[in-house]
Structure 1
Amino acid sequence: MASRGGARRAPRHSASGHTHGHGHAHGHGHGVGLDSPPVPTWARFGLIGVIVLATLGALLGTVLLWPDGDATPRGGLDGIVASAPGVTYPHATVTDVGRDALAAEVDEGTDRGSTVRVQVPPEVAASGLTVGDRVELVRVPAQAGGETSWSYNNTDRDAVLLWLVVLFAVVVLVVARLRGLMAMVGLAVAGVVIWRFTLPALLDGENGLAVAVVTATLIMVVVLYTTHGFSLRTSAALVGTLLGVAATAGIALFWAGQARLTGVSDESGGLLVSAAGDLDFRGLLACAFVVAGLGVLNDVTITQASAVWELRAASSQMSRRQLWRGAMRIGRDHIASTIYTIAFAYAGSSLVVLMLLSLYDRPLLDLVSSEQLAEEVVRTLTSSIGLVLAVPLTTAVAVGLVGGPRRDRLE
């Protein structure tokens, strides 16, 4: 009887094992195991409703904040940089390079074919500039019987940058394939949003925080769905990202005010004040903080959402509390490494400023209070706080959507 009972149970065990294996494969395809209960309809529609409302709000904000071309204080910097009428910026090909000057043949304009000699800063001559390179010159036409004057403006790097873009695209396509292609599409859309909407709106004097939230929402909706596809997992990451953006925006605005930051910490800020001094530079600073943290914030939220989905796929019997704890363990590791990433990125971008400040014979704490360094400190810390808060927020959204535990039905 025992052997007969065992013989009867064996096929049943084998069948159940097959069912479990199929459920696990299904989980990898959809992010939720077969033994895991489906996501409630109300949760699906609730998530979709939040994303639709956020997207519609961003589109409405784009319309309301869209700059009025007639009222924009954008006449360019021509009035500052070019003081004389008729100033042009022709390109020329370098024919000789000295320690503090170079000779170049003009490639365009009325002086095409003529050779001019201009003074250049020592660092330009030492940058590796050689015969055959192209430069951009400043041509000031003759005034009151004088002579036409020439000066060096910039080195033409268009070809080098184009080759670098091509190399970047090829490497991304070879390694990441379709996913990499869609990521580049999202990146291109983000560039268009910033160039065509964000910058003109800020220059038109619109509220910097509002522009930041609208910009971040538009970019994240496009980038996440084009790169990672339409799914509950991506939607959970998107909601977590938007919550992180809101937290970062509020924190950045508050602490920029508490630190009494002006938003004008370098030569570029000074030029902007000269061109459009009536702008809200503290709002611009808050907008910069939000946009600067978007990439890292997106990385953290998509990782958290994926962690929750994979944990549920691996164990459909894990309770929501266990699921939360497991995902947060992954999130804490990611937080630690990402904070280092933010700090090092800002340190690298401000290396020249840090070197200059280190030359002053003053205590470190005094230097930290300087406008330039304090701005970077506030930027790093506010972005990091928003990033840290996004981890539990995204985890909570994902745990709520992925479905609760289901006991094994096997007898």
Structure 2
Amino acid sequence: MVIEQNQIGILFKKIKTLKKKEIILYLIVSIILITGVVPIFHNYNWYDTTIVKIKTVENSLSEESKESSAKEKYFNQVVIGVIMNGDYLGQNVFLQNKYSSSGVLDEKYKAREEVFIKIDSVDNGKITGSIIGFKRDKYMAVLLALFILFLFMITKKKAFFTFISLTANIAVLCYALNLNHKGHNIWVISICLALFFTFFSLILISGLKKKTFAAILSTLISLSFTMILFKIFMVFTQGVDYTYMGYIAGQNYLSDLFLSQILIGGLGAIMDIAITEASAINELVDINSKISIKDLISSGREVGHDIMGTMINIMLFTYICGIIPLIILKMKNNIELHTIIIWQVPMELYGFMIGSIGILLTIPISLTVSIIVFKKLRRSI
């Protein structure tokens, strides 16, 4: 009895020590993040563009809206603000802005907000200008800091590797877009990106393990089969009408552009399923090395069925979220929803369906690859 009480006491001490270490870690991370965020609120000198902090705003209905019975109303704003950087630092500036009730193509500004402006004239000390847009970097900095803090609180040690992976992926993506801007083929670049994202992300987060190798192999095979099926579909049908793409300006290789969107868009969900299946099969084999292949297939299918629905829904949300404002705007202009779906969003529907097919293919492919890696190869070794 005394021994059990001592063991319980030791366990509580370990828990307290662990909590203290976690609290210290969170405090250190919080201090670092606050130190990084605070300067963003006062970084006016980092910009060449003139920044203004709005002091007062006067709103009034425009003359054309007073005389019109249309639902869409337009308003005028007389804005007075103080310049926060540049040659006219500390001086007042007078701005005018026009915004609509829908706010689709314009903004309504309020006091204490910060905006970028272009100075139009300086006459006898009176400065006038026009607003270019919001200064949003401080809000982004706060969100990024909260994201990093929650990442450390939830994933602890893996947070560092996750953040490094995310940062590297963004940097490589920006570099790839710059290569495309210089004339390199977008489809070739996207294939290289898919390979980099797959290898780098999975190895960095999961480590050099068998399950990582199985997930990488499953991801690449699933992506290949998905893109091959789509190419076959394009050959034996009339293909895709790329005039529905909302970003065709200046592009003369729309097929490659759309294929790239499908490849990168479906990569995340396919990687997720592949690593989940690999981890599940790995755990089952580690717990019971004599488990039958039939039981592994049954368990792997159950795991696949559990995550299949959520992954397909994620794919739907990924492709649809960007066009929600367009759908709402057109419905407000009395365009029927089915008309919008048929004529305005077919490319998003193509992407969703192809990505969903990729998700469905990944389940049996990753299950087969994982069983071969963890069961067959283990037995042969």
- Output the TM-score relative to the length of structure 1: 0.66
> By how many angstroms is 1:282 displaced?
3.1
Equivalences for residues 380-395 of structure 1 within 5 A: 380-395=352-367
Matched, 1:185 2:164: yes
Q: Distance between the aligned counterparts of 1:391 and 1:399, measured in 2?
A: 12
CA contact (8 A) 1:263 1:281 kept: no
Out of 236, 239, 246, the position equivalent to 1:258 is 239
Show the counterpart of 2:192. Answer: 214
Show the counterpart of 1:377. Answer: 349
Q: 1:393 to 1:139 in 2, by over 3 A?
A: farther
Q: 1:328 to 1:339 in 2, by over 3 A?
A: same
Show the counterpart of 2:51. Answer: 91
Matched, 1:397 2:369: yes
Aligned-pair Cα RMSD in Å:
3.1
Q: Distance between the aligned counterparts of 1:155 and 1:189, measured in 2?
A: 28
Equivalences for residues 261-276 of structure 1 within 5 A: 261-262=242-243, 264-265=245-246, 269=247, 273=249
Q: Distance between the aligned counterparts of 1:141 and 1:278, measured in 2?
A: 38
> By how many angstroms is 1:131 displaced?
2.7
Gapped regions of structure 1 (runs ≥ 5): 1-87
Out of 100, 108, 133, the position equivalent to 2:85 is 108
> By how many angstroms is 1:121 displaced?
2.1
Q: Distance between the aligned counterparts of 2:160 and 2:377, measured in 1?
A: 37
> By how many angstroms is 1:321 displaced?
3.3
Q: Distance between the aligned counterparts of 1:250 and 1:181, measured in 2?
A: 36
Matched, 1:236 2:214: yes
Show the counterpart of 2:43. Answer: none
Matched, 1:344 2:317: yes
Q: 1:317 to 1:332 in 2, by over 3 A?
A: same
Q: Distance between the aligned counterparts of 2:324 and 2:314, measured in 1?
A: 15
CA displacement, residues 237-284 of structure 1 (integer Å, 9 cap, x when unaligned): 11111223333444556667722123741xxx36xx2xxx25423322
Q: Distance between the aligned counterparts of 1:263 and 1:214, measured in 2?
A: 27
Classify the secondary structure of the residue corresponding to 1:316. Answer: coil
CA displacement, residues 199-231 of structure 1 (integer Å, 9 cap, x when unaligned): 123223333222211111111211111111110
**Higher RCO (C-alpha 8 Å, min separation 6):** 1
Instruction: Name the stretch that deviates more: 156-165 or 103-112.
Output: 103-112
Matched, 1:326 2:299: yes
Show the counterpart of 2:33. Answer: none
Q: Distance between the aligned counterparts of 1:148 and 1:246, measured in 2?
A: 60
Q: 1:119 to 1:255 in 2, by over 3 A?
A: farther
Instruction: Name the stretch that deviates more: 291-300 or 343-352.
Output: 343-352
Q: Distance between the aligned counterparts of 2:216 and 2:276, measured in 1?
A: 11
Q: Distance between the aligned counterparts of 2:132 and 2:346, measured in 1?
A: 32
What fraction of aligned residue pairs are identical, expressed as a percent?
Answer: 19
The total of aligned residue pairs comes to: 306
Out of 114, 135, 138, the position equivalent to 1:159 is 138
CA displacement, residues 371-405 of structure 1 (integer Å, 9 cap, x when unaligned): x4111101111111112212211111111010249
Show the counterpart of 2:308. Answer: 335
Classify the secondary structure of the residue corresponding to 1:349. Answer: helix
Identify the structure with the greater strand proportion: 2
Classify the secondary structure of the residue corresponding to 1:118. Answer: strand
CA contact (8 A) 1:237 1:394 kept: yes
Amino acid at match of 1:97: V
Q: 1:255 to 1:203 in 2, by over 3 A?
A: farther
CA contact (8 A) 1:106 1:114 kept: yes
Out of 249, 253, 256, the position equivalent to 1:283 is 256
Q: Distance between the aligned counterparts of 1:405 and 1:357, measured in 2?
A: 57
CA displacement, residues 300-338 of structure 1 (integer Å, 9 cap, x when unaligned): 111011111122223322222331232122112211221
CA contact (8 A) 1:301 1:391 kept: yes
Classify the secondary structure of the residue corresponding to 1:108. Answer: coil
> By how many angstroms is 1:369 displaced?
2.7
Amino acid at match of 2:243: T
